[in-house]
Amino acid sequence: MYAWEKTVVDEITVKSSAIAHSNIALIKYWGRSLDHNANLNIPSNDSVSMTKHGLTLDMRLQTHTTIDFSDAYEEDTAILEGEVLIGREMERILRVVDPLRKYANIDSKFKMMSENDFPTQAGLGSSASGFAALAIAAVTALGIDFSKEEISTYARLGSGSATRSIRGGFVYWNKGNSHETSSAEQICGPDEFNMNSVIAIIHEGTKDVTSDVGHESAYTSPFNEARIRKSQEQAREIRKAILDDDLSKVGRIAEENCRYMHAVMMTSNPPLFYWRPETLRLIKSVQRIRENGLECYFTIDAGPNVHCLCRPEDTYELQKTLEKMESVNKTILVEPADDSHATREHLF
Ligand code: PMV
């Protein structure tokens, strides 16, 4: 750790900040392992993602978080986008901070403030960047000397996908079989696999059922066991394809894995339909664009918006093509991000 990463105001006041990026899953995490306490967010399969960096200045697809531990605070407070968090949202914050506070042997209360530069809970990965930023800021503030892999296990306690957002580029989350072993590692850096994404925004509103709740019903689908088995194989295959810079293989596997997850969602009890009619239209369009010679592939997280994966040199042409479509409200251009990191810029 570097001295500038934390501000020690006096012995009992420690403030730190972090900036973390969201990510798009190429092999999806959907459903927690039934063999472990659900609060640990240990998944039933390995997953793989690209950490996202928005190419437009006002939308980098990142969360900026500041946390301050001080004996001057009488209670823990967390503020997201100006709103004080309560209930389940606050519980998830505490699931990350409490074990870290215990590890550091500190019992001061904290104030946390967090801001996203993109829509929250709209299927764009705000919980991934949010809990990754929280874990980095808290570990730094508390002066804990953890590796990035260890930090990823604490990010996981807030949101599974946050495990992968600690690292940049392309990331592999080993499901593991305990808190310590369910962690993320980098497959390769942002410049080592040539892939960008154009996100076609169909709808920006918040989703009816958050993924946090959705994970609970995955096992009720009769197709979930098959999805888990296939995902394990695909996670290994896609890792190799990423290292081989093989976009065709990565794209084909990512599309297939996305369809498996949405099939499980739609056949769970209660069923979850994250797609809108426009989502299906976009899937067909991506297939058509590909047939016409511009190589691109779709993947969709827990929301209606479609990530269109392509070679970096095709990004602007793909954007132009997608923006002509009636179903597309706007597009966000994405390239692989660097690692999420601590920053000296504090929000308060
Ligand atoms: O981390 P959560 O609980 O928000 O779940 C993420 C679920 C998906 O985005 C649909 C898939 C994934 O692996 O990121």
- Which atom of ligand 1 approaches the CA of 214 most closely? 3
pLDDT at 256: 98
pLDDT at 233: 98
* 3-class DSSP state of 146: coil
CB atoms inside a 10 Å sphere around CB 107: 9
CA distances from 68 to 7, 106, 112, 334 (A): 9, 12, 6, 32
Q: How confident is the model at residue 123 (pLDDT cuts 50, 70, 90)?
A: confident
Distance 317 CA to ligand 1 centre (A): 29
DSSP state of 72: T
Ligand 1 within 6 A of CB of 22: no
- Which atom of ligand 1 approaches the CA of 261 most closely? 10
- Which atom of ligand 1 approaches the CA of 131 most closely? 1
Distance 4 CA to ligand 1 centre (A): 33
The protein residue with its alpha carbon nearest to ligand 1, atom 9, reads 301
Distance 162 CA to ligand 1 centre (A): 8
Tokens of 111: 């104030």
192 pLDDT above the threshold of 60: yes
Q: Can you give the C-alpha Rg of the chain in angstroms?
A: 19
State the chain's mean pLDDT as an integer. Answer: 94
pLDDT at 207: 75
Distance 123 CA to ligand 1 centre (A): 9
Which of 52, 211, 232, 300 has the most ligand 1 atoms within 8 A of CB, as the residue to mutate?
A: 211
Distance 74 CA to ligand 1 centre (A): 34
Q: What is the pLDDT of residues 280-294, one digit of tens each?
A: 999 999 999 999 999
Distance 21 CA to ligand 1 centre (A): 14
- Which atom of ligand 1 approaches the CA of 212 most closely? 3
Q: How confident is the model at residue 13 (pLDDT cuts 50, 70, 90)?
A: low
Distance 2 CA to ligand 1 centre (A): 32
* 3-class DSSP state of 64: strand
Phi, psi of 325 (to 5 degrees): -85, 140
Which of 52, 92, 124, 161 has the most ligand 1 atoms within 8 A of CB, as the residue to mutate?
A: 161
Which of 22, 29, 124, 299 has the most ligand 1 atoms within 8 A of CB, as the residue to mutate?
A: 29
- β-pairing, 109-116 vs 196-201, is unpaired
Alpha helices in the chain (DSSP H): 87-104, 126-141, 148-158, 162-165, 211-214, 224-243, 247-266, 277-291, 315-323
9 pLDDT above the threshold of 70: no
Which of 301, 305, 307 has the most ligand 1 atoms within 8 A of CB, as the residue to mutate?
A: 301
Ligand 1 within 6 A of CB of 224: no
Ligand 1 within 6 A of CB of 302: yes
Q: CB-based contacts of 131: which residues, under 8 Å, 6+ apart?
A: 92, 96, 155, 156, 157, 158, 159, 162, 165
* 3-class DSSP state of 343: strand
pLDDT at 206: 74
Ligand 1 within 6 A of CB of 210: no
State if pTM tops 0.85. yes
Distance CA 299, CA 197 (A): 10
Q: What is the pLDDT of residues 130-149, one digit of tens each?
A: 999 999 999 999 999 999 99
